[in-house]
Amino acid sequence: MGFMQITDRSKDVIKSGGEWISSIELENVAVRPP
């Protein structure tokens, strides 16, 4: 299994579906088991 690490600042957010998502939240979803 590989590794992925995302580092960000509090201002690094992505707008998706009208909601602001931090890249840390995105990382947590990406690395959890399906």
> Residue 8's pLDDT is what?
62
The contacts of residue 20 (CB under 8 Å, 6+ apart) are 13, 14
Report pLDDT for 2: 82
The stretches in the chain having pLDDT less than 50 are none
The confidence score (pLDDT) of residue 32 equals 86
Please give the backbone phi and psi of residue 21, each rounded to the nearest 5 degrees, phi first.
Answer: -120, 125
What are the extents of the domains in the chain?
Answer: 1-34
Q: What pTM did the predictor assign?
A: 0.43
